[in-house]
A and B are shown apart, each in its own frame.
Chain A
Amino acid sequence: MDKMTKIKFSVFEGCGINAAARGKALNIFFVAGAPNMDASVQCLRKLPASGADIIEIGVPYSDPLADGPVIRDAYARALASGVTLNKVLALVAAERRNVPVPIVLMIYSNLVLHRGEDSFIGDAVKSGVNGLIIPDMMYPYTKNFAAKCRAAGIAFIPLAAPATESVRIRDISLSGDGFLYYVNVEGITGARENLPKGIARRLAKVSASSVLPVMSGFGISRSEHIKAVKKYVDGVIVGSAVQNLLNKGEKPWALVEELKCSFS
């Protein structure tokens, strides 16, 4: 499948900005309400100007199976201060018109199923969310859910991992929208010194198998990481490195600007 078709599927479309036209996308993740809701509002308002092409918001959850200490701590802190799914949706709804890039929610299965798939999708669409990432919902269960998302006009963003075979990558990408989230490492979220050996070859293969644009995430925290992968993907996702600053009460703008520059 050629790039034109890929872009047709893109979550970037209809969100006020065409990131694809601006080159490779930088997707910045942070946890809603960590260290506090004010910080999240600031992130939504300032990250796009710093270079974020997509914003991914983590919905606090008690049992984040796929997450390392930095994001787990942030979730725990947000939950302790009373952040709920409704508050995250209200945050998006309130800020939506101030944010010129797509907003994607990262949310665990139980929160979705607890509300009910249909109600959840409806609520997300209403608040202006453009896409959903559910790290513990696995293909082929995702097929039906992704179809509901597509019908509702929200992108279900599927995930692939190092051991996912080409055929499965193709099937997974066909079932979803927006982009394919490629998990670089076998492991949980968190900054790492080095990306795995052979990552470039692997990403090239993933890109060839996916009908969606491919974004590479997990373990990306520095410019060198982006420089190592940018040729092979349509974008990268940075989470723990940003959240680590937020957890310490620091601002992530400089880091995001620097990361954005490493694309050029």
Chain B
Amino acid sequence: MKKQKSNTPAPLGTVPNGYYGAFGGQFVPETLYKPLKELEEAFNSAVSDSGFKKELSQLLSDYAGRPTPLYYAKRLSAFHGRCIYLKREDLNHTGSHKINNALGQILLARRMGKKRIIAETGAGQHGVAVATAAALFGMQCVVYMGSVDIKRQAVNVQRMKLLGTEIVPVTNGDATLKEAVSEAIRDWISDPAGTYYLIGSCVGPHPYPLMVRFFQSVIGDETKTQIMKKEKRLSDYLLACVGGGSNSIGFFHPFYKTAVKFIGVEAGGTGGSPENTAASICYGSPGVLHGAKSYLLQNREGQILETHSIAAGLDYPSVGPEHSFYHQSGRAKYVTVSNAEAVKAFERLSKLEGIIPALESSHALAYLSKLASKIKKSAIICVCLSGRGDKDMAIERGMAESRKKSSRCRT
């Protein structure tokens, strides 16, 4: 791996060839050897090119709306009895942090002369971000999406179509994010020279986890400046949800060498056993999926498990390799919250702050109920509010109705 820029220090233990401690690497068919090498070279040259950096930062500010505010959530703070800030990634254009990475990578794709963009999506937030970036640059765009997710994230499907993107439904396996990633990789294997695979999280073979972290680090970089300005000190905790792990790694990484504590919140689903969750670190073990060694949910035989989370964007059986490294080295702590807890936090933030969060982000918010009372009164917590919840209205309504029904039964 090339030397990192000074503002993005390499985590301790990072070794060459894209390893984070024992995790990462490139476990893909030989056909992807050359495109991955070209991608790595293009990325390295782009990030040391001031023209590239300037164009990206202009897009982020003028098009995506950055910097996003770091908002002191007064009523939520009062509720939990601790000082809570929200990093408002929901205020980005397209409604989540995914646009940071989509814009960065589409500039890279254009630099590499690629004409066709492919992507996978779960919640549809990454799909919408890529469809948006592709529209902006006039590129052809194909998004793979599990048929289950197409149903539960219908609004985002409509948005992508409007943006001119072709949606390919994926019906293999449990027809969610994992299968969508596999199909996207298969597409890429079939046209490695002409197609750019714009992956949506810090997963996949090297250099993807590094690239996605790089493009998402703007979240943590801004937070650092903003909290220093508001509090004259760093926060005690950073709290973020972890699906593939991109909003969290971008939030955490700029603080790697500080004393700030990192907490990654995984999807606990309905709980009980691993396949009722999507909590790769909390319920999984090391293995290889989609080209990287990392923690994953697998059975005794090493077959990958189907997962479950109410949040489509977290419904993935693995996690970025750098998180596995943070977990193993103890740099970050990983916890779970259940579907029900996430929905409660979703409703709470809506009522207390007038902010409707994404169900994914609601996982991070839900953990406040467990964390706040256990830490010192003066503690400051920054939560990454990775996206907004408009896409989740139907799911929330369903949960609320089934709750009403079951409470009627009880009385």
The interface of chain A, by Cβ under 8 A from chain B, is 61-63, 65-66, 68, 72, 76, 79, 84-85, 108-111, 113-115, 135-139, 141, 159-164, 168, 172, 183, 186-188
Contact = CB atoms under 8 A, between A and B. Distances in A.
Task: Find the residue from A85, A115, A186 having the highest chain B CB count within 10 A.
Answer: A186
A114 B287 contact: yes
Given A136-B288, A161-B33, A62 B186 contact: no
Contacts of A160: 30
Contacts of B29: 65-66, 135-136, 138, 159, 161, 183
B301 A84 contact: yes
Task: Find the residue from B25, B185, B189 having the highest chain A CB count within 10 A.
Answer: B189
B185 A65 contact: yes
7 contacts: A65-B185, A109-B288, A110-B296, A136-B27, A164-B34, A168-B33, A188-B189
Contact of A163 (B31, B286, B303, B304): B31
Contacts of A79: 303
Contacts of B172: 72
B302 to A, nearest CB: 3
B28 to A, nearest CB: 6
Given A63-B178, A66-B189, A163-B192, A183 B31 contact: yes
Interface of B: 25-35, 172-173, 178, 182, 185-186, 189-193, 286-291, 293, 296, 298, 301-304
A187 B185 CA distance: 10
Given A85-B301, A110-B296, A161-B33, 10 more contacts: A61-B303, A63-B289, A63-B290, A65-B29, A65-B185, A110-B302, A161-B31, A163-B35, A168-B33, A186-B31
A135 B191 CA distance: 18
B303 A136 contact: no
B236 to A, nearest CB: 38
Contacts of B303: 61-62, 79, 111
A interface secondary structure, majority = loop
Contacts of A163: 31, 33-35, 192-193
B190 A188 contact: yes
B interface secondary structure, majority = mixed
Contacts of A137: 27
Nearest to B36: A138
A71 to B, nearest CB: 12
Contacts of A76: 173
A138 B289 contact: no
Nearest to A64: B182
Contact of A62 (B173, B185, B288): B173
Task: Find the residue from B33, B190, B291 having the highest chain A CB count within 10 A.
Answer: B33
Contacts of B286: 113
A139 B27 CA distance: 9
A65 to B, nearest CB: 6
Given A62-B173, A187-B189, A114 B28 contact: no
A109 B287 CA distance: 9
Contacts of B301: 84-85, 111, 114
Contacts of B298: 110, 114
Contacts of A114: 287, 298, 301-302
B26 A65 contact: no
Given A113-B293, A114-B287, A186-B190, A141 B27 contact: yes
A141 B304 contact: no
B41 to A, nearest CB: 14
B287 A65 contact: no
A193 B50 CA distance: 48
Contacts of B296: 110
Nearest to A162: B31
Contacts of A61: 303
A109 B286 CA distance: 12
Contacts of A164: 30, 33-34
A214 to B, nearest CB: 14
Task: Find the residue from A63, A76, A109, A168 having the highest chain B CB count within 10 A.
Answer: A63
A108 B28 CA distance: 10
A141 B190 CA distance: 23
B192 A138 contact: no
Given A63-B289, A66-B189, A115 B31 contact: no
A14 B193 CA distance: 42
A9 B248 CA distance: 49
Contacts of A183: 29-31
A142 B94 CA distance: 42
Contacts of B27: 109, 136-138, 141
Contacts of B178: 63
Contact of B30 (A85, A111, A161, A188): A161
A162 B35 CA distance: 12
Nearest to A112: B302
A111 B289 CA distance: 11
Nearest to B305: A62
A166 B29 CA distance: 17
A159 B182 CA distance: 20
A118 to B, nearest CB: 15
